[in-house]
Amino acid sequence: MTGKRLLRTAALVTGALALASSLTACGGGSSAAAGGEGGEKVVTVYSADGLKSEKGDGWYDKVFADFTKKTGIEVKYVEGGSGEMVQRAVREKTNTQADVLITLPPFIQQADGKGLLQPYKPQGSDKVNGADKAADGKWTSVVKNYFGFVYNKKELTEAPKSWEELLDAKYKGKLQYSTPGVAGDGTAVLIKSMHDFGGQEPAMEYLKKLQANNVGPSSSTSKLAPKTDKGELLVANGDVQMNFAQSKSMPNLGIWFPAKEGGKPTSFALPYAAGLVDKAPHTENGKKLLDFLLGEEAQQLVSGVGGGFPARTDVKPTDANAVELTKLMTGVEIFEPNWADIDKNLTGYVDAWKSATGS
């Protein structure tokens, strides 16, 4: 499930290595860095991309700065694809580095299934819809979001309407979607196509045909919007929050929702869901950050600053972005995926996609 321009992969790798290096370097001295709270004023966040801007004006930029100003706790931040962040946390289970993990479904459920999360119900989580949080408190959505696609408004006079339209030869080498099983939005392509086409088999038949036009794999969805804005691509996948924020500095970027030919455009909620990491080095600081992210002040900024939708149902922004986002979603049929099934069978779905597309 971010104008604003997201940190690019090279920068992320550099930042991640720098963080890993600093944590390792501290390991032999400070007991806080070695895993105890020790009063250390730091909290480490592993997050899917989309909420931070390299210009410094994203939702994370604003709320992290406010959090540090209020608490004195520094936020150390590492981002990547949803699956990538979960895999990293799994590798570090014997030497936990992250305090808070924020990722998209079904990867937040996957993180829970792998024992990465501990129960904590942040202040304000009682105002989050039941479908947007785990009943046992293992994770809670902090920003509501929806899956979508982008197109180049300069090259295309109007947005495509159907999946079938994307099979046209004019999209050959001009269409790309991020990799299912690695990127949250890439996995969402599988989820939506299986819903729209009525099951795994017809969806894979379609994606096999679409592969003739597909540029190829991309581990991160956020890099596809700039390519679309420049005309290198005509169509790509994304999500509403990230792409809406990007469109403020990318004038050729339009958001649309594919439909099966003859059907209605559809989407589903793809929220940024946050959980407290099990055996986190700074558990109490992680709790404070989760409380802050779900606080009314931070939630009021979700649309105006982040281009997304508040996770709390009692927070109803009326800023210009909120009005525009409501208009954008009008007429789009929202369905609710069976996340338990997807979590259980994700590997099989991704394997079927690899087989169908030769990826």
Answer yes or no: are the C-beta atoms of 2 and 49 closer than 8 Å.
yes
Q: Which residues pair with 48 in a beta bridge?
A: 80
Rounded to 10°, the helix 296-304/59-71 angle is 160
**Rounded-to-integer distance, Cα 68 and Cα 58, Å:** 16
Per the structure block, which two tokens stand in for 166? Answer: 């994307």
- For residue 324, what are the CA distances in angstroms to 208, 266, 271? 35, 18, 19
Q: In the chain, what is the straight-line distance between the N-terminal and C-terminal CA atoms, in Å?
A: 22
What local confidence, expressed as pLDDT, does residue 79 receive? 94
Residue-wise pLDDT tens digits, 265-324: 999 999 999 999 999 999 999 999 999 999 999 999 999 999 999 999 999 999 999 999
**Rounded-to-integer distance, Cα 270 and Cα 121, Å:** 20
Per the structure block, which two tokens stand in for 309? Answer: 């939708």
Look at the chain and count its residues: 359
What local confidence, expressed as pLDDT, does residue 37 receive? 53
| Residues of the chain where predicted confidence (pLDDT) is lower than 70 | 1-38
**Rounded-to-integer distance, Cα 353 and Cα 350, Å:** 5
Answer yes or no: are the C-beta atoms of 81 and 183 closer than 8 Å.
yes
**Rounded-to-integer distance, Cα 299 and Cα 293, Å:** 7
What local confidence, expressed as pLDDT, does residue 39 receive? 77
Q: What is the pTM of this model?
A: 0.82
Determine how many CB atoms are found less than 10 A away from the CB of residue 337.
Answer: 18
What local confidence, expressed as pLDDT, does residue 54 receive? 80
- For residue 93, what are the CA distances in angstroms to 82, 84, 86, 87, 102? 17, 15, 11, 10, 16
Reduced to 3 states (helix: H, G, I; strand: E, B; else coil), residue 168 is coil
Answer yes or no: are the C-beta atoms of 273 and 135 closer than 8 Å.
no
Per the structure block, which two tokens stand in for 64? Answer: 């992290």
CA dihedral 54, 99, 96, 131 (to 10 degrees): -100
